[in-house]
Amino acid sequence: MSDFSPTQDDLVAYLRGQLTAAESGAIDARLARDERLRDLLERTREVLRIVTESTEDSTVRRANDYLRRGIEAGASDVHLDLERDGGVVRLRIDGALHEVDRLPIAAARAVLARFKTLFAMPPENTDLPADGRLAFGHGEKRLDLRGSFLPGIHGGRLCARILDQTTALAPWDKLGLFPEEEAALQRLARLPHGMVTVTGPTGSGKTTLLYALVRLLAGEAINCVSVEDPVEFDLPWVAQSSVNPARGVTFAYLLRAVLRQDPDVIMVGEIRDLESLQMLVQCAITGHLALTTLHTYNAVATISRLLDVGLEPFLVSSSLRGIVGMRLVRKVCPECAEEVRAPLAASVAEALGIADRGIPWRRGRGCTACHQSGFRGRTGVYEIVEVSSALADAIAAREPEPTLRELAFTGTLPTMQGHAARLVIDGVTTPDEAARVLGITW
């Protein structure tokens, strides 16, 4: 290769370490005796530095912009998915995903690498899942972001969850409770002992409601302790602990330690195993108020779930004092709302218990304020069960679920269907949205 004359492309590859050992050796030999080539190499090095810095700056700005757009739109999550020929960025707003950008594959990989760097994940690790946290400033807000990377055949995907304390720690008047429901929750929160569970699918607002209950109780005169995975928000007057399974710090392990802390109120973020559940029940029947969440379809199904996992009926009947089933429905956008007088679908009206199918209802036409969805913001749909002596006796006798449901709703508190029906009648949400969230088909 004595006559080898490197081009600028060769020099770029040389500077980036992309040549073979033989090719790099040939350029080294030529550089040793060619001053003009050395000058060209230095100019190429400077151009490459400027281009690299410009590309890196663009990637940083783009990644930060996606996070800021998510925060400004009130999104709960920012998604970046790498596909065969590019990447797609989506925001989850009011429970629904909205596409906001598509990227060429090189740009998508660069943004993914930037996100992984922000969340303190190893950028070079593309084969293993990874998690991380990020404190992100936006205006006067300081938000906590949780990043999760999942490997995939095209490079993987990253989800950044936005935790905004101003929305997650909502005051009582922002939870969407009817007056009789708020009064029932206040009664449950002020019980001296017993277990209260909040139930619903993932993303139904359980943690927000649980935190609202704890904030109602926590104070100088009450010793509140929580066990969470992970701790999502710093709560005043609450001693918060996070599980760490890798080091053997499980829910059950922490609960045993909590009982030595003289607690009045114990909050467990989520029950995941029988041992923890048994310990929490023991806490509830030995003078502590125990608050937790479960994944069940409705409030009464929680009773069946507790029995099915192995708890004795007498333990459930003696410890369980209240159940809150909940969902989140999207609210009609106030900017583009319009009244509709078309009759409700018969199956929806029947399922929601609305006798008059001809009632007027509201929907959103779609506008820029709601991203053309017709919805803006969400509110809770609840059913609250205060365990009466009759219901406790039925639980101990292992009565079937229809009997338990009949005993659970003998007073003025509505079922989730009843709550949703009132939201439709009041124009807060649409019949289709209520049916979607409650799993009603028509």
pTM: 0.79
Does residue 210 lie in a domain region? Answer: yes
Does residue 154 lie within any of the structural domains? yes
In this prediction, residues 262-273 reach a mean pLDDT of 90
Same domain, 105 and 119: yes
Task: Indicate whether 282 pLDDT > 50.
Answer: yes
Q: Establish if 131 belongs to a structural domain.
A: yes
**Domain, as residue range, for 94:** 60-163
Query: Does residue 116 sit in the same domain as residue 238?
Result: no
Asked if the structure places residue 125 within a domain, the reply is yes
Strand bridging mode 361-364 / 337-340: antiparallel
The reported pLDDT for the residue numbered 367 is 94
pLDDT, the chain, mean:
89
Instruction: Tell me if 291 is assigned to some domain.
Output: yes
Give the mean pLDDT of 186-212.
92
Higher per-residue confidence, 38 vs 89: 89
Same structural domain for residues 291 and 375? yes
Whether 441 shows a pLDDT value over 70: the answer reads no
- DSSP β-bridge partners for residue 337: 364
What's the CATH number where 96 sits? 3.30.450.90
On the question of pLDDT at 288 being above 60, the answer is: yes
Predicted confidence (pLDDT) at residue 164 exceeds the cutoff of 90: no
Query: Does residue 3 lie in a domain region?
Result: no
pLDDT at 59 over 80: yes
Q: Are residues 110 and 182 both part of a single domain? A: no
- Which of 163, 195, 211 lies at the terminal end of a domain, its last residue? 163
- Which pair of tokens denotes residue 276? 């923890």
pLDDT digits (tens, 9 = 90+) for 16-35: 776 778 888 888 888 888 88
Q: What is the mean pLDDT of residues 127-148?
A: 84
Quote the number of domains for the chain: 3
Mean pLDDT of 242-248: 88
Instruction: Strand 238-242: give its sheet, edge to edge.
Output: 238-242, 224-228, 265-268, 289-294, 194-199, 320-332, 375-386
Together in a domain, 98 and 21: no
- Per-residue pLDDT, averaged over 150-164, amounts to 92
Highest average pLDDT, of 10-19, 140-149, 276-285, 324-333, comes from 324-333
Q: Is 248 left (phi over 0), alpha (psi -120 to 50) or beta?
A: left
Q: Are 182 and 257 in the same domain?
A: yes
Residue of 178, 407, 190, 174 lying closest to 289 (CA atoms): 190
